[in-house]
Chains A and B, each alone.
Chain A
């Protein structure tokens, strides 16, 4: 019994990590319907940025991430403003192909700059510390922190979206970009801002990606798939839905791994497809499609 409980807890924690991967994507997909195939690679890129900041300035990864965040915000803003804004429109092929090209460039650029060696963000004792829950159950401090950060990020995004003027502008532009202009909203700036915010969230995701396990330039696409699965399961326009989606994937994976370690990833995909067949719009869709 405790073993299964342990598995469930592990699944929820993993879900927190996936929700972090997915949060930035949820924002972008929700506002712009942009399918950013480079999202996973951008998380890896952010992890390398944090690594470099930490190494050069001799800082703890958490502090390095705080310093890297504004840099990544600016990068996201520029990326959207200069490149991705040109791909938006009714056709999904341009953003698909452009972000795929971007994904290739980021991956191979990182390979050239850093080689294929595995890297790690060293956080010290926190990495292996664990908290006892009683009854023979323990949970790692790092996974707990990850989940807590995911919840905090989602709370912050909800606050931004539903309680601020900027958030209203995000939602209005997502509903109807043409009419939003009549409100005095400059779509291109709004999208660039949104991408900037998304990259800041990516910085947080990158921090936990790098501390949790080794990373290298090629692991981007797999994170992208988990992130998309979480966003789509959760439903368009709902950040709590994205958290739920992440947890569904996390639970599916850990339960699958428990049955047979080779089935871990497959179990996640199957769960995704099952949810999609039953509820094509996701579990908690909030925005209008």
Chain B
């Protein structure tokens, strides 16, 4: 809210609660601990956590788009793949350091999100969802044409690039590890930053007046418009911001995998279905939800992925069950029951004399 408009005597709108400060401190402590983790954790855990962090980043982005802005996209894999391919292109052909390339990939994804939005924003609801999927397919088919990037079968990152990521020598000395492990640690930090960054960004957006606008749009577009919200622009900026985050995640994912192909980079299962499942299991429309969801998903992947087709059948059944029996997700129900909010974004009216 652009400065509290003259509130009635003694009333003000506030967002934080006393608990918020405690949660913020706990969050910082957790972040510091995670930062230092590579010093004591084994490589497998570090790699696992990279997966957790980038899935969390993807989930926060999708949640912002669908849970808050009401834009249910089934085509975010377009930006994952775009980010991945931009990373490869920038690192291999422009000689840019991969870490910098991650950031640039995000920027490029944001730029390309503009014309994409112009196409898909013509559609609404179910049409919008299908439209985004078709757009992602177009991206996939277009990138499959670029022979320099491996065409339909894909390509790998050469060792000259993977072994010279910025900071590898520093990490090797710091932790006394070999090149490959050092790269994992660098990627771990990058992924941690990305996850924390997306959470922070989403939180700040929702606390700002854009967040209010989003909630208004989600509830009723005509009403929001009549209150002075520019629906199109608000949705556009959310779409672009989400694309940037998703693009950066995509770049990071494929830097870690070091191998890319159109079918993998634009896979609807890995980058949309799993992401949606994570958000819905955790609790759509909350910032805490995706965090819970990604942890549950990590557990499922770790212990059950080896069951192949049966694991996928289980996931499918889980998606159905959650949607029918617990649409608010795990966090949604806990929060409602106990009134918990770790990331408060709703405004409360505080009267005179109240805290």
Q: Footprint of B on A, CB under 8 Å? A: 29, 33, 35, 83, 86-87, 92-94, 96-98, 100-105, 107-109, 111-112, 221, 225, 228-229, 232, 262, 265-266, 269-270, 272-273, 276-277, 280
Contact of B309 among A29, A98, A108, A273 (CB under 8 A): A108
Contact with A along B272-284 (1 / 0, CB 8 A): 0100110010001
Cβ–Cβ < 8 Å partners of B310 in chain A: 108, 112
Complex contact A104–B312 (CB within 8 A) = yes
Instruction: Name the residue on B nearest A94 (C-beta).
Output: B323
The 3 A-B pairs at the shortest CB distance, nearest first, are namely A104-B316, A101-B319, A101-B316
Complex contact A277–B119 (CB within 8 A) = yes
Cβ–Cβ < 8 Å partners of B284 in chain A: 93
Distance in angstroms from A235 CB to nearest chain B CB is 11
Complex contact B134–A273 (CB within 8 A) = yes
A225 to B74, CA, bound (A): 12
A105 to B320, CA, bound (A): 10
Contact of B320 among A92, A98, A107, A280 (CB under 8 A): A98
Cβ–Cβ < 8 Å partners of B317 in chain A: 101, 105
Contact of A87 among B123, B127, B273, B323 (CB under 8 A): B323
Complex contact B126–A35 (CB within 8 A) = yes
Distance in angstroms from A115 CB to nearest chain B CB is 10
Complex contact A270–B138 (CB within 8 A) = yes
Contact of A280 among B127, B144, B309 (CB under 8 A): B127
Can you identify 7 A-B contacts, CB atoms within 8 angstroms?
Answer: A33-B126, A93-B66, A96-B74, A97-B322, A101-B320, A225-B134, A276-B127
Distance in angstroms from B131 CB to nearest chain A CB is 6
Main secondary structure of the interface of B (DSSP, over half): helix
A93 to B218, CA, bound (A): 14
B30 close to A (CB within 8 Å) = no
Cβ–Cβ < 8 Å partners of A225 in chain B: 130, 133-134, 137
Complex contact B126–A280 (CB within 8 A) = no
Cβ–Cβ < 8 Å partners of B323 in chain A: 87, 93-94, 97-98, 101
Contact of A93 among B72, B134, B145 (CB under 8 A): B72
Complex contact A273–B319 (CB within 8 A) = no
Complex contact B133–A108 (CB within 8 A) = no
Q: Provided the pairs A87-B324, A269-B137 are in contact, do residues A92 and B312 lie with their beta carbons within 8 angstroms?
A: no
Complex contact B119–A111 (CB within 8 A) = no
Complex contact B129–A96 (CB within 8 A) = yes
Complex contact B138–A273 (CB within 8 A) = yes
Q: 7 new A-B pairs (CB below 8 Å) besides A96-B129, A112-B313, A273-B119?
A: A100-B316, A101-B319, A105-B316, A108-B309, A229-B134, A232-B127, A265-B141
Cβ–Cβ < 8 Å partners of A96 in chain B: 72, 74, 126, 129
Cβ–Cβ < 8 Å partners of A280 in chain B: 122-123, 127
Mark out the residues of chain B between 250 and 302 whose CB falls within 8 Å of any chain A CB in the assembled complex.
268, 273, 276-277, 280, 284
Contact of A266 among B66, B141, B316 (CB under 8 A): B141
B351 close to A (CB within 8 Å) = no
Cβ–Cβ < 8 Å partners of A262 in chain B: 144-145
Instruction: Name the residue on A nearest B134 (C-beta).
Output: A269
B150 close to A (CB within 8 Å) = no
Q: Provided the pairs A100-B319, A111-B309, A266-B142 are in contact, do residues A92 and B137 lie with their beta carbons within 8 angstroms?
A: no
Cβ–Cβ < 8 Å partners of B268 in chain A: 221
Q: Provided the pairs A225-B134, A269-B134 are in contact, do residues A101 and B318 lie with their beta carbons within 8 angstroms?
A: yes
Instruction: Name the residue on A nearest B284 (C-beta).
Output: A93
